[in-house]
Amino acid sequence: MNYWLVKSEPDVYHFDTLVKDKKTVWDGVRNFAARLHLKAMKKGDIVLFYHSTGEKAVVGIAKIVKEWYPEPGEPDWAVVELAPERKLKKPVTLAQVKADKRLSEMKLVKLSRLSVQPVTPAEFDMILAKSEEK
């Protein structure tokens, strides 16, 4: 199992919308590196869901329920299907991530414009721990 992070502008697609929809096709990704990451995702992989505007923060956890296939109408691009797992107890902001030296190598910090990115198991665990802090 691998861990990932996907970004969405909450006014375009909010994590709460994913919860309501129960599943979504993650489409519209137009970056070659991000496309490679989509193609590497496997069913059951865990995904951190990040809101990229407003209070920039990891807000929820989803999972891959269908591996990549060509985007309908745009076959050069890839899509996967996500389903929500749960909302985090509290969001983990970009500022919190940047302030933690243990997360300094996280792609969210190093490659801030990349919309689909891998996350290490240690980074995933640290994000979850931060979401549980009081």
**Domain assignment of residue 56, given as a range:** 3-132
pTM: predicted TM-score of the whole model, two decimal places? 0.97
pLDDT mean over 89-99: 98
- Mode of pairing for the β-strands spanning 74-93 and 24-26: antiparallel
Place of tokens 């956890």: 61
What confidence score (pLDDT) does residue 134 get?
80
Chain segment 49-86, per-residue pLDDT in tens: 999 999 999 999 999 999 999 999 999 999 999 999 99
Token output for 111 = 């490659």
Tens-digit pLDDT profile for residues 2-38: 999 999 999 999 999 999 999 999 999 999 999 999 9
Question: Are the CB atoms for 52 and 9 separated by under 8 Å?
Answer: yes
Number of domains in the chain: 1
Question: The domain that contains 88 carries what CATH number?
Answer: 3.10.590.10
CB 61, CB 88: distance < 8 Å: yes
pLDDT at 63: 99
What is the rounded radius of gyration, in angstroms, for the C-alpha atoms of the chain?
Answer: 14
